[in-house]
């Protein structure tokens, strides 16, 4: 498929999701033959699902992916414009052009072959003992995890660093260390004994061997077997994603001297010297048992196995900027097998992703000047304010909550910072050197991020700092900052349309806004006070009521089965599900407040309230390949789109609006509906 044909398909999908030229709900995407009380997801999206084909370079497609493609197309247009400008050396414009062009220059990458990799492989080969191994492991540490903002718990390095406001000192940046060491996405890929997972492990070992052979290693099969066995042993030490999401289990402050006593095996002094963190007095260790287990493995596993592990992880991590044979082999496993995706994304799309990852704010400044007018920001800010006001009223009206707890909750809402469109200050990239060397640019980019993060340790927290770029199609709650970010790229149709009825906007972007506000009070956010500190601000009775309600919601999601042999993990997805339930309720109240007593306009025979819920259901319209959906269920804190659309079964108004009756599949008796906020 040509790039033009692929893009045409993507934009047709976007038009279909958005309802072509309509403003408001996409009636053409609905299936009126489906009863909303039986399958609200199918009712809202059925015809779109029937006619939509997943492009060969995708594991899934939906509203978010279609808008992401639009953002990428705009971004590459900006990059190509910048590439034609004779930019000042050392400027961000020059960095953007150099980084993108170096990645797109495939002949140069092929001509260099493995030369960029060799010095690093030689350094690994030269490791003589476990002390030098510890230093090399420390040198591999990167700022590549984020437990609470972007919920990224995975790093292929032995451990990962996250620099963020402290759990116990929210005024200063603190070092968090998190478990790592696995190349596959989650521990279950190593430990699940199903036939499917055993086959994946066998094919993973073949992949490891293939990558080693391509990099010139001898005895690749035996090395691969040892590497996979080491990763299996590491996986046994890991906490599950659901366990890692428990804030209270994560708040473990270790001084440097504690590591040798609490996690013996690794030469921690040498590890921290290698990482440049030998002067850091203390860390918060997110998964102490995993650190103890992985450190013991450093001592018990032969040195040569660790050296092979380091070499393979290096090769796999940088395959995208190495010769095509390596890149293709990596995609064959992680793309084709694990995601079920037949083709790679076009090179230019991967180039945009790289530029966004390493120079996201530099691109974002230009993006918002071109694509985010002040009027759009003002309208979005007004909607946010309206939904926060609705949430305040909901908190005040809670019959089960003590006045003291309500006061703490209101304080969180009163101090909540909401960033709309783009950050107030932009990231400084002046220390990031970009040349015509693709491998070197990616290597230096990772180090730049790491060194910039480390430099902030102990400094005062910027509560208005963003964790997403403006061109990102997403939104985020930052519990340690008590803040929200709504990037410019999500504030456009079909989520937000200035020409659409209020019902559609509140049902689409309004529920997203409500969702992010509600994260302030989910199972994770509720552990933090108005200043971002970990503090129990609940009365005992209120906390007991909250925990009981959230346990019921987790049990509800445990019953959802995307496939006969796999269920949604209600505990793993609980924080997101709480935010969905509370977010719909707050957005619905905000929508009614926006009407100020007026009657909502009817669209295609649907009342305003019906439009609201349909718009919410259409947020989650998507199609996924089986492998991609299975991976999502295992590794993602979000439930699949179908089950997020089913959240409406907990909202009383939905039953009235669609006349849902007992006996329909989604019907819940009033006592069984989960109401939290």
- Confidence class for position 328, pLDDT limits 50, 70, 90: very high
Query: Could you tell me if residue 322 is inside a domain?
Result: no
Give yes or no for residue 630 having a pLDDT over 50: yes
Distance CA(120)–CA(614), nearest Å, equals 54
Query: Could you tell me if residue 87 is inside a domain?
Result: no
Same domain flag for 298 and 377: no
User: What pLDDT is stored for residue 12 in this prediction?
Assistant: 39
Distance CA(182)–CA(229), nearest Å, equals 11
pTM above 0.75, yes or no: yes
Report pLDDT digits (tens) over 141-164: 999 999 999 899 999 999 999 999
Same domain flag for 443 and 496: yes
**Boundary-marking domain end, from 317, 342, 365:** 317
**Boundary-marking domain end, from 271, 299, 317:** 317
Same domain flag for 255 and 371: no
Query: Could you tell me if residue 400 is inside a domain?
Result: yes
Q: What average pLDDT does the chain have?
A: 95
Same domain flag for 312 and 380: no
User: What pLDDT is stored for residue 14 in this prediction?
Assistant: 43
User: What pLDDT is stored for residue 518 in this prediction?
Assistant: 95
- Confidence class for position 404, pLDDT limits 50, 70, 90: very high
Give yes or no for residue 256 having a pLDDT over 80: yes
Query: Could you tell me if residue 639 is inside a domain?
Result: yes
The arithmetic mean of pLDDT across residues 98-117, rounded, is 98
Query: Could you tell me if residue 120 is inside a domain?
Result: no
Label residue 616 exposed, middle or buried (CB < 10 Å: 0-12, 13-18, 19+). buried
Give yes or no for residue 229 having a pLDDT over 90: yes
Same domain flag for 242 and 373: no
Distance CA(439)–CA(154), nearest Å, equals 22
Same domain flag for 224 and 280: yes
Report pLDDT digits (tens) over 64-75: 888 999 999 999
Report pLDDT digits (tens) over 204-223: 999 999 999 999 999 999 99
Same domain flag for 162 and 273: yes
Query: Could you tell me if residue 620 is inside a domain?
Result: yes
Same domain flag for 665 and 560: yes
Q: How far is CA 197 from the centre of its chain?
A: 24
Task: Specify the number of domains making up the chain.
Answer: 2
Same domain flag for 283 and 402: no
Same domain flag for 423 and 538: yes
Percent of the chain with pLDDT over 70: 97
Give yes or no for residue 15 having a pLDDT over 90: no
Query: Could you tell me if residue 95 is inside a domain?
Result: no
CB 295, CB 266: distance < 8 Å: yes
Phi then psi dihedrals of residue 233, to 5 deg:
-65, -40
Report pLDDT digits (tens) over 32-88: 999 999 999 999 999 999 999 999 999 999 988 889 999 999 999 999 999 888 889
Beta bridge partners of 419: 485
User: What pLDDT is stored for residue 6 in this prediction?
Assistant: 40
Same domain flag for 412 and 305: no
Give yes or no for residue 666 having a pLDDT over 70: yes
Give yes or no for residue 2 having a pLDDT over 90: no
**202: domain CATH number?**
1.10.1380.10
**533: domain CATH number?**
3.40.390.10
Cα→Cα distances 272→139, 292, 454, 671, Å? 8, 16, 12, 54
Its domain, for residue 224, covers 130-317
Same domain flag for 293 and 384: no
Query: Could you tell me if residue 638 is inside a domain?
Result: yes
- Confidence class for position 21, pLDDT limits 50, 70, 90: low
- Residue-by-residue DSSP string for 133-183: HHHHHHHT--S--BSSSS-B---SSSEEEEEEE-SS-TTBEEEEEEE---S
The arithmetic mean of pLDDT across residues 224-252, rounded, is 97
**Boundary-marking domain end, from 293, 317, 341:** 317
């Amino acid at each position: 498929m040509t790039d033009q044909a692929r893009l045409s398909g993507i934009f047709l999908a976007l038009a279909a999701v958005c309802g072509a030229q309509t403003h408001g709900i996409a009636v053409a995407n609905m299936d009126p033959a489906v009863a909303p009380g039986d399958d609200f997801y199918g009712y809202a999206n059925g015809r779109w699902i029937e006619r939509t084909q997943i492009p060969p370079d995708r594991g899934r497609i939906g509203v978010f992916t279609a808008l992401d493609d639009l953002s990428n197309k705009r971004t590459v247009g900006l990059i190509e414009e910048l590439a034609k400008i004779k930019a000042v050396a050392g400027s961000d414009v020059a960095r953007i052009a150099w980084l993108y062009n170096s990645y797109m220059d495939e002949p140069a990458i092929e001509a260099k072959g493995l030369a960029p990799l060799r010095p690093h492989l030689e350094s690994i080969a030269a490791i003589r003992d476990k002390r030098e191994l510890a230093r090399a492991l420390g040198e591999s540490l990167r700022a590549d995890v984020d437990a609470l903002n972007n919920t990224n718990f995975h790093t292929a390095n032995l451990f990962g660093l996250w620099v963020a406001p402290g759990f116990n000192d929210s005024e200063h940046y603190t070092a968090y260390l998190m478990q790592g060491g696995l190349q596959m996405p989650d521990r279950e890929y190593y430990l699940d004994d199903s036939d499917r997972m055993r086959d994946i492990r066998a094919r993973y070992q073949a992949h490891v061997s293939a990558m080693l052979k391509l990099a010139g290693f001898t005895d690749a099969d035996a090395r691969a077997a040892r590497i996979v066995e080491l990763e299996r042993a590491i996986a046994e030490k890991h906490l599950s994603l659901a366990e890692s999401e428990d804030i209270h289990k994560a708040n473990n402050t270790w001084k440097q001297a504690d590591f040798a006593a609490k996690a013996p095996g690794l030469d921690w002094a040498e590890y921290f010297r290698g990482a440049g963190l030998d002067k850091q007095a203390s860390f918060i260790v997110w998964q102490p048992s995993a650190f103890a287990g992985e450190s013991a493995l450093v001592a018990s596993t032969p040195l040569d196995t660790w050296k092979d592990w380091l070499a393979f992880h290096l090769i796999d991590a940088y395959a995208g900027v190495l010769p095509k044979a390596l890149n293709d082999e990596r995609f064959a496993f992680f793309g084709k097998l694990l995601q079920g995706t037949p083709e790679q994304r076009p090179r230019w799309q991967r180039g945009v992703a790289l530029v966004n990852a390493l120079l996201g704010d530099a691109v974002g400044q230009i993006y918002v000047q071109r694509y985010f007018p002040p009027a759009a920001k003002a309208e979005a800010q007004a909607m946010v304010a309206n939904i926060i006001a609705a949430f305040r009223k909901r908190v005040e009206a809670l019959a089960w909550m003590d006045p003291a707890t309500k006061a703490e909750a209101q304080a969180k809402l009163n101090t909540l910072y909401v960033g709309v469109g783009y950050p107030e200050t932009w990231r400084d990239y002046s220390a990031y050197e970009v040349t015509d060397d693709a491998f070197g640019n990616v290597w230096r980019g990772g180090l730049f991020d790491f060194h910039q993060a480390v430099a902030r340790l102990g400094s005062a927290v910027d509560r208005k700092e963003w964790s997403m770029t403006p061109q990102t199609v997403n939104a985020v709650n930052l519990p340690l900052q008590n803040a929200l970010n709504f990037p410019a790229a999500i504030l456009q149709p079909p989520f937000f349309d200035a020409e659409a009825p209020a019902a559609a906007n509140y049902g689409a972007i309004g529920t997203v806004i409500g969702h992010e506000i509600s994260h302030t009070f989910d199972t994770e956010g509720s552990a933090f006070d108005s200043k971002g500190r970990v503090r129990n601000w609940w009365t005992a009775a209120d906390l007991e009521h909250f925990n009981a309600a959230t346990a019921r919601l987790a049990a509800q999601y445990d019953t959802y089965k995307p496939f006969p042999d796999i269920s949604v993990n209600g505990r793993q997805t609980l924080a997101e599900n709480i935010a969905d339930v509370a977010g719909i309720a707050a957005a619905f109240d905000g929508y009614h407040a926006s009407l100020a007593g007026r009657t909502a306009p009817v669209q295609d025979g649907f009342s305003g309230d019906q439009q609201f819920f349909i718009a919410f259901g259409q947020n989650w319209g998507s199609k996924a390949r089986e492998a991609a959906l299975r991976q999502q269920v295992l590794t993602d804190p979000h439930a699949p789109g179908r089950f997020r659309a089913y959240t409406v079964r907990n909202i009383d108004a939905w039953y009235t609006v669609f006349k849902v009756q007992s006996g329909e599949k989604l019907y819940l008796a009033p006592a069984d509906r989960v109401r939290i906020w």
